[in-house]
Structure formats: C-alpha cells, structure tokens
Amino acid sequence: MLNLIENQMNNYSPAEQTVAYYVLEHPEDVLSMTTKQLAAECQSSEATIIRFCKRIGINSFKGLKIELAKEISLEGNQDEMNASPLQFEDDLETVISKVTTKTIQALNNTKSLVSVEQLDRAVKAMHEGERIYVYGAGGSSLVANDLTQKLLRIDFPAFQSNDIHVQMMMAANMTERDILFVVSTSGKTREILQLLSTAKEKGATTILLTQYGKSPARRMSDVVLTISDEEHNIRIGTMTARIAQLAVIDVLFIALCTKRGSKVYKKIIDTHQAVQRMQKQ
C-alpha cells in the first residue's frame, strides 16, 4: 500500500498529496487516528481524506488502516519487497522470493484499483457487440492474444492482428456496433492513440486495459480497466504489469461466460475437443 501511494504521487490533487506524504511518513500513527484527527494533522478536511482513500482504490478510511496494518506487520520484509528483482549478486532463491513477492503485490494492488462498474460496462458492451477487435503493441500483444483466444473459445467474433497496418484497416471498417479492446501498459503509445482515434471516428465502443495514472489513451476510451503501476521507472519486461493484465482478462472471461449462461459449457467442450483431436493426429 505504501508503495502504491508513493507511485501515484503525481496523480493527486495538492490537498491529497499532503495526506499522502503524511501517511508515508507516519503510517503507524495513522492506525490510531480518526479521519478528523488525520485531517487536522494535514490541515485539510475529512472529505479530502475520503477522496484520497478512493483515489488509491479503497472505499473507506478504515480500509486504508487495515491495509497499512498488514504492511506494517510485514515491515521486516520491506527491503526485499521494494528492491528491484534484477540485482546481479542475488542467488536463485532470492530471485524467486523477489519475483513472487512483487507479483503478489501487483495483484493485490490491482484488486484494489480495478473498478467493478467499469468491468460491468466492459462485459455488457462485449456481450452485446457485433464484433470485437483486440490489439496490444509489444509485450501487450501477449495479453491481447490471450484475450482473443479466450473470446474465440466461447464463440465471440474476435479479431486480432499484431500488424498495426492490418489493425488500422480493421478499425477503418468498424461500426457503432463494434468493440475495440486495447491493451496498453502506458496508454501513451502513438500507434495505440491512432487506433483509438480511428475507432472513435467510426462510432465503435473503446475499452482500454492500462496501468493507473493519467494518459492520452485513458482520456480517449469509453471504458477503462485499471491495473496498478508497479514498474514505474525502467520496466524489466513489464513483468508485474503483464501478470496483472492477465488476471483482469481472466476476470473478464469468467464474467462473459456467466453472461452467456450455461450454453457456454458446450462451446468450451467443443473447442477443447477440436484441439485435442489435432494433438492426436
């Protein structure tokens, strides 16, 4: 939680930044405070405290204190938790510990940030859409490919190309009944912005899966699914971002299966058996 608060510092209002700095410097003191007491320490209002909690994906001040208490209880492991996974002097046991710790941290932070309302809107749009076009550049293409395979598994009309020129041709033929689902960790990639712009011109509904924080792609999209920003400086293969994105895709897939009802089981069985027959030949 402290890592999440620090990473998002540039996204807070001035009043929220004051609260953030106080929480980072005095996490143990915050555990015994009321919203009124914390507001007084920050020379702010109780409403600002609540807005700050919601900004970091927590619905109440009590929830913030629970998360801080969990983190403080693990204080002895903080150096390892916050250290870069790439340290040349580390042995394999240390690497395993760092990678798994950061993965768990990213998943927990994403759980706090992802909006149920936005997920529900994404599910509704995809369920009712005529065609779904999926795109991700670079490392995000792996996540886009995973979503496309899952959609095809349950008979959604899904289309994807890793070639941006082909994807732009698809976008040029979109209608208001189509969906463009874009995976972009930063939300700033030029080709992503061009693709979103073309889809918007055609009236298609745009869904973006991206990290927390302001970005041009976030402003352009109709629906935004948010993951946490763990690798906010130099990314080593966008490891935690990829895991968090895949987790959100899994949630989306299960929700779409639920929306389709029991008939989805036949689709899953049929596609599984078709692939199995290929393996036996």
pLDDT, residue 236, reads 52
Please, is 100 exposed, middle or buried when counting C-beta atoms within 10 Å of its C-beta (0-12, 13-18, 19+)? Answer: exposed
The pLDDT mean for the chain works out to 86
pLDDT, residue 73, reads 64
CA dist., res. 168 & res. 185, Å (int): 20
> For 129-185, what is each residue's pLDDT tens digit?
999 999 998 888 999 999 999 999 999 999 999 899 999 999 999 999 999 999 999
pLDDT, residue 181, reads 98
CA dist., res. 200 & res. 154, Å (int): 27
Percent of the chain whose predicted confidence (pLDDT) is above 90: 52
User: Is residue 257 scored above 80 in pLDDT?
Assistant: yes
**Mean pLDDT along residues 5-28:** 90
User: Is residue 80 scored above 50 in pLDDT?
Assistant: no
> For 185-241, what is each residue's pLDDT tens digit?
989 999 999 999 999 999 999 999 998 878 899 999 999 999 987 655 445 546 788
pLDDT, residue 230, reads 66
The b-or-e profile of 192-207 (16+ CB within 10 A means b, else e) is bbebbebbbeeebbbb
CA dist., res. 25 & res. 20, Å (int): 9
> For 25-46, what is each residue's pLDDT tens digit?
999 899 889 999 999 999 999 9
User: Is residue 47 scored above 90 in pLDDT?
Assistant: yes
pLDDT, residue 89, reads 75
